[in-house]
């Protein structure tokens, strides 16, 4: 575990890729006095390490805000107190498959959420999951969840999406691009910094997804990625997508 101080009262708990695993994890901690709001929980192992570190510093984990409810983001809740406030999309029940000890409180897309000095605003971004949301932090950082994923060496990871959700994922990425943000933080991989880097990262995913969508899945990996500026990791995600298109 690596702890990066992003700015005052904002920390990134970073878990690099382990052998045999495609991606690592980012858990972002927002601090208000002695209370902490954690964005995502990863698996139990990562959640326990974060909780232990916070406790050693005299801090108390009071909130967990989930970008979406896939197991690699929600399973860590099992290792946390049942009294913690868990926040997420109103659509969370469409994705959540694991029993968790906490009750989920739906975020408001109109009112946002205030946590100390942090003003959080939420935008629905379905595609990767039905309950994916974008999280704006003080108008400075935008957490894109798994709409964009990469390894810590900077290598992009192919989008994970079910074939039936291709159009939604494309729409959410187009919306993300239109936001014209220059600091994007991710659930997996390093921060994207600068509008040129952000725009290119989004375009690479869009070009791939549109190639698969426009051919109804009747394309090779080479054809699907021909319009991309990078070489992707996660080729198994492409094989899964093409297999679903045939059903």
* pLDDT digit string, tens, across residues 83-97: 999 999 999 999 998
Name all domains of the chain by residue range, CATH numbers in brackets.
Answer: 2-194 (3.60.15.10)
Kindly list the distances between the CA atom of residue 90 and the CA atoms of 16, 68, 148, 169, 183, in Å, as whole numbers in the listed order: 30, 10, 22, 18, 26
The helix/strand/coil state of 13 is strand
Residue whose C-alpha is closest to residue 118's, from 134, 144, 137: 137
What pLDDT does 98 receive?
83
Do the Cβ atoms of 38 and 61 come closer than 8 Å?
A: yes
Given a cut of 90, whether residue 157 has pLDDT beyond it is: yes
60: DSSP letter: E
What pLDDT does 39 receive?
98
- Cα 105 to Cα 206: distance, rounded to the nearest angstrom: 32
Given a cut of 90, whether residue 34 has pLDDT beyond it is: yes
Given a cut of 90, whether residue 20 has pLDDT beyond it is: no
What pLDDT does 184 receive?
97
The DSSP element (H or E) to which 167 belongs, if any, is helix 166-178
Do the Cβ atoms of 61 and 83 come closer than 8 Å?
A: no
The helix/strand/coil state of 196 is helix
Q: Which one has a higher pLDDT value, 120 or 98? A: 120
What pLDDT does 19 receive?
81
What pLDDT does 124 receive?
98
Do the Cβ atoms of 75 and 109 come closer than 8 Å?
A: no
Q: Which one has a higher pLDDT value, 62 or 99? A: 62
């Amino acid at each position: 575990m690596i702890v990066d101080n992003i700015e005052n009262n904002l920390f990134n708990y970073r878990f690099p890729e382990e052998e045999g695993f495609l991606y690592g994890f980012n858990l972002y901690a927002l601090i208000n006095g002695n209370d902490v709001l954690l964005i995502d929980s990863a698996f139990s192992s990562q959640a326990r390490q974060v909780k232990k570190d916070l406790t050693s510093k005299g801090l108390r984990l009071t909130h967990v805000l989930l970008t979406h409810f896939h197991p690699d983001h929600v399973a860590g809740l099992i290792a946390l107190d049942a009294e913690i406030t868990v926040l997420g999309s109103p659509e969370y029940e469409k994705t959540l498959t694991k029993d968790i000890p906490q009750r989920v409180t739906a975020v408001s897309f109109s009112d946002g959420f205030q946590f100390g000095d942090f003003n959080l605003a939420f935008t629905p971004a379905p595609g990767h999951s039905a309950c994916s949301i974008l999280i704006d932090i003080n108008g400075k950082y935008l957490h894109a969840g798994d709409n964009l994923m990469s390894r810590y060496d900077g290598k992009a990871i192919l989008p994970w999406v079910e074939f039936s959700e291709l159009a939604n994922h494309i729409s959410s990425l187009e919306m993300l691009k239109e936001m014209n943000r220059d600091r994007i933080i991710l659930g997996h991989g390093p921060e994207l910094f600068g509008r040129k880097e952000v725009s290119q990262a989004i375009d690479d995913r869009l070009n791939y997804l549109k190639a698969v969508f426009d051919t109804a899945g009747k394309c090779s990996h080479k054809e699907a990625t021909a319009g991309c500026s990078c070489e992707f990791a996660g080729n198994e995600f492409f094989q899964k997508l093409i297999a679903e298109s045939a059903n």
